[in-house]
A and B are shown apart, each in its own frame.
Chain A
Amino acid sequence: MESNDLLRWNAGDGGQIEIEADGPWTVTNAVALDSLVDAAAQAAGTGPMIVDMHGVTAIDTFGACLIERLVTPAKARGQKVVFKGVLDQHRSLLDAVARVSDHTPLPPKKRSPLAAIEGLGRSLIDLGNDLSALLVMLGAIAMAMARVIRRPRSFRLTAAVNQFDRVGLRSVPIILLITFLIGAIIAQQGIFNFRKFGAQTYAIDLVGILVLRELGVLIVSIMVAGRSGSSYTAELGSMKMREEIDAIRTMGLDPIEILMLPRVLALVLALPMLTFIGSMSALVGGGLVSWLYGGMSVATYITRLRDAISVTHFEVGMWKAPFMALVIGIVACTEGLRVQGNTESLGFHTTESVVKSIFLVIVLDGFFAMFFASIGM
């Protein structure tokens, strides 16, 4: 359809304009009409505006909005606007649109020239808030723990056992697999590189110390943060969204005691167990590679391992595990409670939970390294 079939105008003397609308004023012609309407509104003078609509065969809200846009500037300037030949079946829609169209546009949002600095300030304050929120959650969980110790009957044993099953026992296969591979890779790299100067048996020292002291607990913590921390945040977050946590509060119960404490405790128990299993699996992986790739017998591997590592290395690794679990659990619960009413926020806080807990686990591991070095372990 040629565009000038839809809208013609004729500017007369004295600023008067006669506008003739024709054909279907519907969404299918909306793009063509959009520019025509703007051109016609431009052409309008200062005199009365006459809109002849007898040729309009159909009109929908899109067409009605465009008619409204055509006449609004003239009306705003106080010019007379006359509609001619409006069909009865179109009138109610035009009236309905005209009634609501006299809205004033919103003032545009002002953008401060110091927005970048403001953003920096806000993120610093957020960082402070994050830290205080974590401390608040730690305190709340400690208080709940103290209450539970005084009244052991109020402890949700079933929930804790169920959570232990989910985050502990069910993670065993994946932890076994990942740490086995990590142990095997360290052994392979050690043997490959140490062989150049004939020190390939030191690869066993490398595997033993690295796995027991650092990598076992770190890999397991990162796996648990990704697997269980994220699910804690998502669960608690959707309970927050659906007002379930508010429901628990209004019943006079403590969501920290009912929801958070069993989860965090389950994690604190599960992580040392997983670390132990993971470290053993990594040693097996390292042993397998030393035998198949390095050509060392199993007996050599075990003897060498016994010389290289002491109980201290094992203790250092195991001591760290419950603290890592506490960090993961507290971050997950804090982020879960920060979820707001929409789905985007749920996804955002689940991501935040995983990123923050992995970050904090690694930072904490650094502090532990300094601590154990200074006490000579």
Chain B
Amino acid sequence: MSDEAPAIRLTDLVVGFGNNTVIDHLSLDVRRGEILGLVGASGGGKSVLLRTILGLLRKRSGTINILGANPDEVSSAAMRAVERHWGVLFQQGALFSSLTVRQNVEFPMREYLQLPPRLQSSVAITKLGMVGLSAVDAEKLPEELSGGMIKRAALARALALDPDIVFLDEPTSGLDPIAASDFDRLIKTLQKALGLTVFMVTHDLDSLATVCDRVAALADGKIVALGPMSAMLASEHPWVQAYFRGQRARNNSIV
């Protein structure tokens, strides 16, 4: 696989429930090493698209290609090998509530790798340090953490296996603006340090403007605009205009 090949390639993807088509012949490439932000209206299918890429929802037609593997064609063992190379940050963190933060980060390592326990816990503590959690926090249970710390711990777990791609589902939602911008900076730093490809579903205009290399706008089940922020601002699509030139965008002095 050459470095030129995209990390994720979606071709003619169709997803729907019953009579309702949510994703309608959508095509999108996510390049290696970029941070792609996906925006769209609430209920517009962003989470559906994310969950379809992750294999949690079934698609009607089209192909998905992640890190050179097509889930329809490769065996389930090969797909598991690909899944080892991605990490997911769920919106609510989805930390396992009966495990401590450190055990949460060690969980994927324990399942996939046979490592000496000392190395495993030192890597877990290092990952937690990278996302800004201390060794004291590492021994806490998820219920003892604040919302921002849960997101950080969940990010550390998503990064546990040194993935090539991380999927972030609204990483800054529920965080105060300071915590949100810290988190944005954290994503950018980690992306540089670890050479990650980041696929990020977000509503946060600041995140889009500061960390995303490219933005994809999802409307009517299709990608209606794709490119850097300047391309979003120049787009003629009415929804994209409303989104990026609305009151909130102006208040954020993005325009």
Contact = CB atoms under 8 A, between A and B. Distances in A.
Interface of A: 27, 30-31, 34, 60-62, 64-66, 68-69, 89, 92-93, 95-97, 99-101, 103-106, 340-344
Contacts of B141: 342
Given A61-B127, A65-B126, A27 B98 contact: no
A103 B125 contact: yes
A342 B143 contact: yes
Interface string B112-144: 011110110011011101100011100101110
Given A96-B193, A103-B125, A342-B98, 13 more contacts: A31-B115, A34-B116, A61-B126, A61-B127, A61-B162, A62-B115, A95-B193, A96-B130, A103-B129, A103-B134, A106-B139, A341-B97, A341-B142
A32 to B, nearest CB: 11
A30 B142 contact: no
Contacts of A68: 126
Given A66-B119, A92-B193, A96-B189, A31 B135 contact: no
Contacts of B127: 61
Chain B interface bracket (under 10, 10 to 19, 20 to 34, 35 or more)? 20 to 34
B205 interface: no
A100 B130 contact: yes
B129 to A, nearest CB: 3
A95 B98 CA distance: 33
A68 to B, nearest CB: 8
B242 interface: no
Contacts of B98: 342-344
Contacts, number: 75
Interface of B: 97-98, 113-116, 118-119, 122-123, 125-127, 129-130, 134-136, 139, 141-143, 159, 161-162, 189-190, 192-195
A30 B143 CA distance: 33
Contacts of A100: 126, 129-130
B143 A97 contact: no
A27 B195 CA distance: 16
A106 B136 contact: yes
Contact of A344 (B97, B123, B161): B97
23 contacts: A30-B115, A31-B114, A61-B123, A61-B126, A61-B159, A61-B162, A61-B194, A64-B126, A65-B119, A65-B122, A65-B123, A66-B119, A69-B122, A93-B193, A93-B194, A96-B130, A96-B189, A97-B126, A101-B126, A106-B139, A341-B143, A342-B141, A344-B98
